[in-house]
Chains A and B, each alone.
Chain A
Amino acid sequence: MTRSRPPDTLAVLDDRELMSAHLAGDPDAFGVIVSRHRDRMWAVATRTLGDREEAADAVQDALVSAYRRADTYRGDAAVSTWLHRIVVNACLDRVRRTRARPSEPLPEHQDHAQILGHRAHGAQDTAEQTETRQLVLAALRSLTPEHRNALVLVDMEGYSVGEAAQLLGCPTGTVKSRCARARAKLVPMLSELRDGGLSPPDTSGRDPARERGNRSASTSVSSPRRAPASAPERSGGDHRG
C-alpha cells in the first residue's frame, strides 16, 4: 500500500495519477488535487450561493464527499470536471434546501461587505479585478436562485444548456429562458463593466453566434470550462429528485 511520500513527488503527477495515488492510499494526493482546483470551486460556490459561509460549507462538504467517493471517478472526464460537478451539485442542493425559506434576494451590500471583509489570501488579485468580481457577485445576488443558477452554470461556468438542464433538473427551454431573464436583469446593472472598460474583451462583434463562440476561448484559463462534456456517467442524471 502506498504511504506518505514527499509532497514534491506528488506535485509532478497529473490529476489522474494523483487520483490513482489517492485510491492506493496516499494520504496527501487528494489534497494536491484540491489545491490545484480550489479557486474554481470557490468561485462557483460563491456565485451560486451568494453567501460566504454557505459557500464555505458547501465546498468543504463537497470535497470531503469527493474524497470518500473517489472510487466512483470513472476516468472518462477530467478529474477537475468530476470535482467541479460534485461541488456544483452540493451548491445546488444547498440552494434547494434553503428554498424552503422565502426567496427574497439578500440585501446587496450586506453580502457584499461580507465578501469584502474577508480578503483572499493571495495578493494576485488586482483592485480592478476585485471590483469587477464584486460588482458581478452583487448583481448575481439580485437574481432569484433559479435565474442565478442557470446563468452561472451556462454563462460563467461553461456548462452547455443541456448539461445545465441536467444539473438543475429542468428542461433545456427553461434553462434558456431563465438565462435570458437573468441577462435582461443584469444588463443595466453591469453596464459599467462594459462602458467602464474594467475588463471586457473587445465588444465590436455583434453577431451572437460569434460572440458566444469566442467567450469560452477568451476566458478559460485553467478551468475545465468546456470539459464537462459528454461524460457517459451523466446520461442517467446524477441528481435524484
Chain B
Amino acid sequence: MAEPIRRPEVDVLADYVEGLLDDDARAQVQRHIAEDPDTAALVAELETLPRLLAATPMEPMPADVVARVDAALARESQDRAAASAADRVGGLPRHRRWLVPAMAAAATAGIIAIAAPVVLDRGGQDDSLDGAADAPAAQEGRTAAASPESLSEQEDDEGGSQSPESLEQTDRPPALTSAEFASQVKTLYADAEPATKEDLAVTAADPQTLQQPLTLPAERLGERVAPVCDGAVESTFRTAILYDGESAYLLVYGSPVGGGPQQAVAFRCQGDEATILQQQPIDLP
C-alpha cells in the first residue's frame, strides 16, 4: 500500500481496535487518527469489518449436500431401527449374538450397559459345553429366573434350531478382572470384528461424553442408562461382562479428537442406581 511511511501499520491499527495496545502505543494511534483522515478512515473500516463479516449472507446448503446428509441420516435411522428390532426379538447381528443371554439376564437383574459389543475369548469355548456355567444367568442365582422365558424367545427367533445351552455357550460374555481391567479391555477391542471396531469408533466420536460421565454421580449415570433399559433409547453398544466373576456391564467411550484416551467403565445398575465398579482411561489403537 502506498501510504506515508509514518502512518501506523494496519496491523497496529487492528490491534488498536481490538484493544491490544499499551497506553503509549494507543495514544500514538489516537494522535494519528486525529491528524490524519486516512488513518481515521482505516480505523473506521477496521471497526466496521466485524459487522460486515457477520452480515455475510449464508449460502443455503447445496442440494447435493442436503441429499447426502439426508441419506446418511436415513441410514442412521435404519440402523437404529434394525438394532432396536434385533434387541427386542433377540435376533442380534452376528457379532452381537453372544449378548443375547446376557441381556436376558440383565433384564431381571436390572443391569444394563452401553458399550462396544466385542467378542473375547472365542477360542476354547467350543470345547467346553459346561462353559454355560460361566454365563451370568447361571452363575448369579438371582438372575436365573429370567432365563427360561427370554431364552425360549430367542430360540424361536433362531428358528428353534438351537438349544438355550448352545446359545449361551457360544455367546458367553467376556470375563474381566479388576486387576487386569485395562489390558483386558484392550484385548476385547483388539479381538473385535472390524464392524465392531467401527461401532467403537462411533462411540468414541463423542468429546462430550468423554467429559460428562466422569463427573456424573452414579445416580445420574443410572438415569442415563435407564431409558436404554426400557428400550426407550436404543444403543447398539451393549456389552455384558463378568467382572471379577459377577455380572456387570462395560461402557467404552472417548474422543478421537486429538487422540485423547478412551475411558472404560465397568458398572452395574440396580433399578435406577448405577454402581461404578471401575473406571479407567485406556489408549485404544
Contacts and interface: CB of A to CB of B under 8 A. Distances in A.
A156 interface: yes
Interface stretch (A6-14, A105-113, A207-215): A207-215
Contacts of B34: none
A27 interface: yes
A71 B233 CA distance: 9
Interface residues of A, number: 88
A118 B64 contact: yes
Interface of B: 1, 9-11, 13-15, 17-20, 42-66, 68-70, 72-74, 76-78, 80-81, 84, 202, 205-212, 215, 224, 227, 231-234, 255, 257-260
Contacts of A120: 59-63
A25 B232 contact: yes
Interface string A171-197: 001001101110110111011011000
A151 B127 CA distance: 64
Interface string A63-107: 111011101101000000000000001000100100000000000
A241 B259 contact: yes
A39 B61 contact: yes
Interface of A: 1, 23-25, 27-28, 30-31, 34, 38-43, 46, 55-56, 59-60, 63-65, 67-69, 71-72, 74, 89, 93, 96, 115, 118-122, 124-125, 129-130, 132-133, 136, 151, 154-156, 158, 173, 176-177, 179-181, 183-184, 186-188, 190-191, 193-194, 199-201, 203, 205-208, 211-212, 214-216, 218-219, 225, 233, 236-241
Contacts of B64: 56, 118
A180 B15 contact: yes
A23 B227 contact: yes
Contact of A238 (B15, B18, B61, B208): B208
Nearest to B206: A69
Given A59-B65, A93-B257, A201-B51, 12 more contacts: A27-B77, A38-B69, A39-B61, A43-B59, A56-B68, A60-B65, A72-B208, A154-B50, A183-B17, A187-B10, A216-B54, A238-B208
Nearest to A158: B54
Contacts of A133: 56-59
Nearest to A26: B77
B54 A24 contact: no
B70 to A, nearest CB: 7
A161 to B, nearest CB: 9
A200 B10 CA distance: 21
A191 B63 CA distance: 32
